[in-house]
Amino acid sequence: MGPVSFRISPGKTLVIMGETGAGKSLIVQAVFGTLPSKLRAVGEIMVNNYRVDTLSKAEHNKLWGREITTLPQEPWRALDPLMRSFSQVKEAHRFVARQSQSEAHSSTIKAFDTLSLVGAERHFPKSLSGGMAQRVAFAAATAGNAPILFADEPTKGLDAEVHTKILDLLVDIPQRGGTLLVITHDVSVARRLGGEVLIMRDGDLVERGSVTTVLNAPSDAYTKSLLEAESKNWKKSPSQLLGNTLLKAENLMVVRGEKRLFGGFNLDLRAGEKVALIGPSGVGKTTVLDILAGLLKPESGVLSYCSSLSKHSIQKLYQDPPAAFPNRVPLINSLNDVAKRHKTRWSQVTKILEQLSVSLTILNRRPDEVSGGELQRISIARALTVKPKILLADEPTSRLDPVTQWETLAMLDNIATKEQIAIVLVTHDPHIAEKWADRTISLI
């Protein structure tokens, strides 16, 4: 990526927006000294007028949590999979903020209440919804009260109420004299945070200025396209002729632990149909997909499938793409294995990747060496390689910029029509549900 320079003073906010894969997250990784081993940063990085890019790893680590902290894009990578949620946040208060046992316990209780996490205290990360995991990571990251916070897509996967809570907490940071840098694809988030904004595309900085000026009167054509591609501006997808019933759910009830999430769920899913599934974070949307995929059993109810479906006809797109790829295996190997297993020509795989605007040159990298948005699109390509009849998509475009998000969902729309694939889409964006889906089911 090209040279990028910026300065953020105490009490100020910098927002970075732009194309998926443009290098936004790499800026944060460079500041924290956590760039992938094959990459290196050139230039100077100053934190509190102290140069940090020349520090050793051990010296760099001493700054984390106390001087500067980050909320990474993937909570899957930020949380300890073997530690319960409450313990993770309490540990941060205890050892980063250096509170006593009782103080750390009280601070953690307060954080869980503020972030609407009451009831999730004893859950391991694997048992949390994506939005809940995001909030637990936020609580842990901010426990040390570091004066500088870098937040990478802090509101993805959150329902409207919690989305607002997180934004209020972020806005409060510069108001209290802290320094805030936020990476986001959400134009509404940028408007709420204010401050200065950088727009990036293809590794280059294409526009910068105050949020008000840039987002109300953009001068660069790409910035204009970002604003035009907001989901609220989409045209309604036309309804298509639907085929036979592929899956039928009758009066499903879902229970997690001792808690009843919902009951009376019904779905008659037909070939070529696009259904949006919406509802608050943690209500059980992902659990519904797991049940429809046959990965979990409902507490009660009946689930039946068309006799023509094979065991590979139903494919799921996971909300956290890193959870779906072996982290030490090059991406090309993962795609090749699936293609060979299902006798799909490699040329067909590359065609799908090209339709999703995925550069073939990144396939030799490991999952942790590509952006979240790139990994999300590769996971879509892998699922389509199997030639599914039902695609269960859990927030499949949450890490994509508005332009790429629109293009990706338009491509899935076309494939659903052409191949008569039924799609169940989990989304927190009511505009996507309204404009893209044939119908919407709300879980409350």
Asked whether residue 183 falls in the same domain as residue 210, the answer is yes
Asked whether residue 28 falls in the same domain as residue 138, the answer is yes
Asked whether residue 261 falls in the same domain as residue 220, the answer is no
Q: Is the pLDDT of residue 400 over 80?
A: yes
Asked whether residue 311 falls in the same domain as residue 423, the answer is yes
- Nearest of 301, 367, 296 to residue 332 by alpha carbon: 367
* 334: CATH: 3.40.50.300
Q: Cα-Cα-Cα-Cα dihedral of 189, 402, 157, 358, to 10°?
A: -140
The reply to whether 172 falls in a domain is yes
Residue that finishes a domain, picked among 173, 194, 228: 228
pLDDT of residue 233: 93
Give the pairing of strands 196-201 and 13-18.
parallel
For the residues of 195-257, what is the DSSP string, one character each?
Answer: SEEEEEETTEEEEEEEHHHHHHS--SHHHHHHHHTSGGGPPPPPP----SEEEEEEEEEEEET
To 5 degrees, how large is the angle CA 190–CA 193–CA 199? 35
Please report, for residues 48, 193, 231, 357, the alpha-carbon distance to residue 68 in angstroms, rounded to integers and kept in the order given: 10, 19, 34, 35
CA dist 29 and 125 (Å) reads 23
Percent of the chain with pLDDT over 90: 66
Query: What is the residue range of 69's domain?
Result: 13-228
The reply to whether 438 falls in a domain is yes
Grouping H, G, I as helix, E, B as strand and the rest as coil, residue 177 is coil
pLDDT in tens, 105-118: 999 999 999 998 99
Contacts of 109 (CB under 8 A, 6+ apart): none
pLDDT of residue 163: 87
pLDDT in tens, 342-395: 999 999 999 999 999 999 999 999 998 888 889 999 999 999 999 999 999 999
> What's the domain count of the chain?
2
pLDDT of residue 351: 94
Asked whether residue 160 falls in the same domain as residue 282, the answer is no
pLDDT of residue 211: 97
Asked whether residue 140 falls in the same domain as residue 43, the answer is yes
Asked whether residue 219 falls in the same domain as residue 250, the answer is no
Contacts of 96 (CB under 8 A, 6+ apart): 65, 66, 143, 144
Asked whether residue 314 falls in the same domain as residue 193, the answer is no
Percent of the chain with pLDDT over 70: 100
Q: Is the pLDDT of residue 284 over 90?
A: no
On average, the pLDDT of the chain sits at 91
The reply to whether 158 falls in a domain is yes
CA dist 345 and 430 (Å) reads 37
Average pLDDT over residues 211-230: 95
Asked whether residue 373 falls in the same domain as residue 399, the answer is yes
Average pLDDT over residues 101-108: 97
